[in-house]
């Protein structure tokens, strides 16, 4: 792991490369061509689940809330992501997750800050969705924690990387039914010892790299709400938005098979 000074020195020597295609360019982030082909999520969107209204159920939206959220409010009060998770954004997200593309973290955090601009003011804590320790040892870092730290450093909100702990390792969610996914992550999370009795009245923003079915985020939110949090929001680089909502909305359609591309 390169220290902060070492990383700064490397940046001074190495040229910037596009996070998606790897071409050399004049600054950090994406080249113009990759930027223009990324599936950015833009308003108008549901103020709760974040689904842009140009997707399916947006047609049935009531005011600023989509029909699914109006019918049954999601456990995660508000979800925001910079990108739709699809064929165009998948490589970028998986690269950050698996390929030690840590140098992209400040750029991704800027995207998160923009996507979560309406959530960050007044939030009580920013925290990552935790990895199980065994996975952390293998992967060496929790990409969600890296993101959470960078987003917190760019806002007034304090970061709590140890807010949640993963008590057991959960199998991949990809091939499970909706009920199966809910059961898979039920009881998998707990509030970190340092934070018990300190959540009362706080609105918490949970950070992850990608939200697929939303089952993991919902399980984390339930634990925090049971622990006294006032509300829980979600913020990610990318989110599956078609079909609308998936597990964030109890009773909605099965999620797209894109989730099965994740480990």
Instruction: Give me the least distance between CB of 79 and Zn ion, in Å please.
Output: 8
| Complex with Zn ion: residue 78 or 160, whichever CB lies closer | 78
# residues contacting Zn ion (CB under 5 A): 10
Query: Within 13 Å, how many C-alpha atoms sit on residue 105's CB side?
Result: 23
In the list 16, 17, 21, 174, the residue contacting Zn ion (rule: CB under 5 A) is 21
| Complex with Zn ion: residue 61 or 199, whichever CB lies closer | 61
Instruction: Give me the least distance between CB of 92 and Zn ion, in Å please.
Output: 10
Site for Zn ion in 33-52 (CB under 5 A): 34, 46, 48-49
Instruction: Give me the least distance between CB of 70 and Zn ion, in Å please.
Output: 8
31 binds Zn ion (CB under 5 A): yes
| Complex with Zn ion: residue 53 or 154, whichever CB lies closer | 53
Query: Which stretch, 16-24, 104-112, 172-180, 253-261, contacts Zn ion (CB under 5 A)?
Result: 16-24
Contact assessment for residue 255 and residue 240, using Cβ atoms and an 8 Å cutoff: yes
223 binds Zn ion (CB under 5 A): no
C-alpha to C-alpha distance for 163 and 41, rounded to whole angstroms: 28
| Complex with Zn ion: residue 31 or 188, whichever CB lies closer | 31
In the list 41, 52, 69, 236, the residue contacting Zn ion (rule: CB under 5 A) is 69
| Complex with Zn ion: residue 148 or 232, whichever CB lies closer | 232
| Complex with Zn ion: residue 8 or 33, whichever CB lies closer | 33
18 binds Zn ion (CB under 5 A): yes
Query: Which stretch, 65-73, 75-83, 172-180, 212-220, contacts Zn ion (CB under 5 A)?
Result: 65-73
The CA R_g of the chain, rounded to the nearest whole Å, is: 18
| Complex with Zn ion: residue 20 or 163, whichever CB lies closer | 20
115 binds Zn ion (CB under 5 A): no
219 binds Zn ion (CB under 5 A): no
248 CB-contact burial (10 Å; exposed 0-12 / middle 13-18 / buried 19+) = buried
The full 3-state SS of the chain, as one line of letters, equals CCCHHHHHHHHHHCCEECCCCCCEECCCCCCHHHHHHCCECCCCECCCCCCECCCHHHHHCECCECHHHHHCCCCCCEEEEEEECCHHHHHHHHHHHHCCCHHHHHHHHHHHHHHCCCCCCCCCEEEECCCCHHHHHHHCCCHHHHHHHHHHHCCCCCECCCCEEECCCCCCCCCCCHHHHHHHHCCCEEECHHHCCCCCCCEEEEEEEEECCCHHHHHHHHHHHHCCCCEEEEEEEEECCCCCCHHHCCCCCCCCHHHHHCC
Instruction: Give me the least distance between CB of 221 and Zn ion, in Å please.
Output: 15
Instruction: Give me the least distance between CB of 65 and Zn ion, in Å please.
Output: 6
Residues contributing to the site for Zn ion (CB under 5 A):
18, 20-21, 31, 34, 46, 48-49, 66, 69
């Amino acid at each position: 792991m390169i220290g902060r000074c070492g990383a700064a020195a490397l940046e001074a020597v190495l040229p910037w490369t596009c996070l998606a295609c790897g071409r050399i360019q004049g600054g950090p982030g994406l080249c113009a061509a990759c930027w223009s082909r990324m599936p950015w999520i833009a308003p108008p969107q549901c103020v709760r689940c974040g689904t842009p209204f140009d997707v399916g159920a947006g047609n049935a939206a009531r005011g600023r809330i989509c029909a699914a959220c109006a019918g049954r409010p999601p456990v995660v009060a508000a979800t925001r992501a910079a990108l739709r998770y699809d064929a165009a954004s998948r490589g970028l997200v998986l690269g950050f997750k698996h390929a030690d593309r840590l140098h992209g973290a400040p750029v991704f955090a800027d995207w998160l800050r923009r996507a979560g601009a309406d959530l960050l003011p007044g939030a009580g804590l920013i925290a990552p969705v935790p990895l199980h320790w065994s996975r952390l040892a293998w992967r060496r870092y929790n990409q969600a924690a890296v993101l959470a730290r960078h987003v917190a450093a760019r806002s007034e909100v304090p970061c709590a990387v140890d807010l949640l702990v993963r008590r057991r390792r959960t199998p991949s969610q990809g091939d499970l039914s909706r009920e199966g996914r809910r059961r898979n992550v039920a009881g998998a999370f707990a509030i970190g010892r340092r934070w018990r009795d300190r959540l009362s009245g706080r609105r918490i923003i949970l950070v992850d790299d990608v939200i697929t079915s939303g089952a993991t985020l919902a399980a984390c939110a339930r634990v925090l709400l049971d622990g006294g949090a006032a509300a829980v929001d979600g913020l990610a680089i990318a989110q599956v938005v078609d079909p609308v909502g998936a597990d964030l909305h109890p009773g909605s359609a099965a999620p797209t098979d894109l989730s099965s591309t994740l480990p």
